[in-house]
A = this chain, B = another copy of it.
Amino acid sequence: MADVTVSQRALGSKDEADPAAEQIARAIEKDIFAGRLKPGEKLGEEELAERFGASRHHVREGLARLILAGIIVKERNKGASVRRFGPDELRQIYEIREILQRQAALRIPLPAEAAAIHRLTLINEEFEAAAKQADFRRIHVLNDRFHTELFGLCDNDLLVSLIKTYMDLTYAVRGAAFANPRNLEKSRTQHRIMIQLLSGSDSWALAQICVDHIQITKDQYLAAIGGPEASRARIGVG
């Protein structure tokens, strides 16, 4: 309808301009999400250029995107490194995630149509299968797809993109969370409840569980790095 497709990534409509840089950016993203690159780790330009068989120019371009996305940081003349989150930064990020996910959930028309529920059911079954096999790569992908599909039911693509951006920001964190079988089980259960709620008409319940859902990884990370703050993590607007 509009003269330009709306919001491919967060808000920057990058289309598929500079595919090389985009490809490199995605690859680095993957490495970070998979835990192969840990927070604080250095990212040398030439090293990456060699690894991807691309010129340093494209590597720089790719890094620039990840910097703007907030996934990595760069100091002048000192190179790029995977971003390391402090407790306060993480608190802020999760607060934003809570806001966005709650509001997006509230905007999903209930009951949702059967086709959508079916799609989510299939994704979640795959998710559970991946969980059984402890296939962390697929777990991430499917978890991501589940939430994208779920929030995609609200009629605001830009909002969905924004949610995804902030989900990506915390992917490095979530790697550790999914390694814990108890958390994985909890995620699974909550996904199933979400699907059930889509058949009903209680938007508030759906919104609440979407918020509760991210507490798992939040508490996990705060406990890991912050220590005592984890118990103080009950803020929420109520």
Contacts and interface: CB of A to CB of B under 8 A. Distances in A.
A100 B95 CA distance: 11
Nearest to A64: B64
A76 interface: yes
A156 interface: yes
Tier of interface size on chain A: 35 or more
A7 B92 CA distance: 10
B96 A158 contact: yes
A178 B211 CA distance: 38
Interface stretch (A13-21, A119-127, A179-187): A13-21
18 contacts: A1-B88, A3-B84, A4-B73, A4-B84, A6-B86, A6-B92, A10-B70, A12-B70, A13-B67, A17-B76, A68-B68, A92-B156, A93-B158, A95-B159, A96-B156, A96-B159, A96-B162, A99-B159
Interface string A53-68: 0000000010011011
Copies, count: 2
A124 B137 CA distance: 52
Contacts of A15: 73-76
A107 interface: yes
A155 to B, nearest CB: 8
Interface of A: 1-4, 6-7, 10-18, 61, 64-65, 67-70, 73-76, 83-84, 86-89, 92-93, 95-96, 99-100, 103, 106-107, 156-159, 162, 165-166, 169, 237
Contacts of A74: 15, 17
A100 B163 CA distance: 12
Contacts of A4: 73, 83-84, 86, 89
A32 to B, nearest CB: 15
A92 B159 contact: yes
Contacts of A70: 10-13
Contacts of A18: 76
Given A11-B69, A11-B166, 7 more contacts: A2-B89, A3-B86, A4-B84, A10-B70, A11-B165, A15-B76, A89-B158
A2 B84 CA distance: 10
Contacts of A3: 84, 86
A228 to B, nearest CB: 15
